[in-house]
Amino acid sequence: MIEIAGVNTGQLNTLGLSELERNVIAAKQKSPVVYRYNSLDDLKFEMRMRSNMVNAAKALHDSGVDFAGFDDSRCNERYWIRTDRGGFQLRRGVSPSAAINDIFHNGGQYAFECATAIIIVLYKAIIDTLGEAVFDRYFQDLLLWDWNYDRNLRLVSNSNLAEAFLGDILYFRNPDFNPRTPEWQGENVVKLGNDLYYGHGIGITSSQGMITALNGARKPGSKTSAYLSNEVIHPDFDALQQLQYGHDNRIVAVPEHRGCGVAARIGTKTYRDPGREA
């Protein structure tokens, strides 16, 4: 259920929210977990971010970007410098928001793997929620590579799939992946609807569609199916909201690396080269 300080939650139906935002609120209202907000503005900010995360995922799917491992990644060199590890470093003097938006406008010039795609989706949603000026102020010197992300993007994770809502990041695990194609050890996805997900390299499909695609990349003769894990990730909405008031989140948040599939964890980690280990 939802609790908002000083607000009768019966008023939520009168806020003029989108259908997606109403669906998230309805799901949270039915949940046995209590979701507490300090104000109505806090709730509305989260709903706006979730809506923009879903829209960004759909836009990236439609942008014409290609899937590629780190060795074969490519980018528009007007905005990015491709590093020797297959990442994209923002060029000096380039607007961060313009560089992210270019991926959506000129997708045919880009190719990357699925973890990078998730970070791009999150950055785009932040731009669309907070505006280009705020993004350019706080998200500078960007490096798009695997699950690297700016310190002002903080991620929250839990292991309760029943509490996954639209816009959340989930993970389909492929435990018996073919070692010749380690990029298919799993698929990071954005939840778009009821049993509808976007995963870069597979596309927009159902849970069974994701599983079927990953099962096609198993070891020869394997009978161990891919599956949707319990890992759920979303941005720290409160921390992002503070950026519009000029409050910098000086916390380094780095996820544990699992090749193309990752569960974010806040804090320290042991880092492994991409695609080397599941």
Give tens-digit pLDDT for 2-34. 999 887 777 676 678 899 999 999 999 999 999
pLDDT on residue 7: 79
pLDDT on residue 195: 97
**CA–CA distance, 236 with 157 (Å, rounded to integer):** 9
The mean per-residue pLDDT over the stretch 138-149 comes to 96
Nearest to 232 by CA among 160, 129, 132, 183: 160
Alpha helices in the chain, H assignment, sequence order:
19-30, 40-62, 96-105, 114-130, 132-138, 207-215, 237-243
pLDDT on residue 269: 23
> pLDDT by residue (tens digit) across 91-133?
999 999 999 999 999 999 999 999 999 999 999 999 999 999 9
> pLDDT by residue (tens digit) across 213-253?
999 999 999 999 999 999 999 999 999 999 988 766 544 33
Asked if 195 and 210 touch (Cβ cutoff 8 Å), the reply is no
The mean per-residue pLDDT over the stretch 188-197 comes to 98
**CA–CA distance, 127 with 245 (Å, rounded to integer):** 15
Nearest 5°: the CA angle 127, 133, 136 is: 75
**Which amino acid makes up residue 98?**
A
- Would you say the pTM of this structure is higher than 0.85? yes
Largest CA distance in the chain: 59
**CA–CA distance, 185 with 14 (Å, rounded to integer):** 44
pLDDT on residue 57: 98
pLDDT on residue 215: 98
Residue 170, beta-bridge partner list = 189
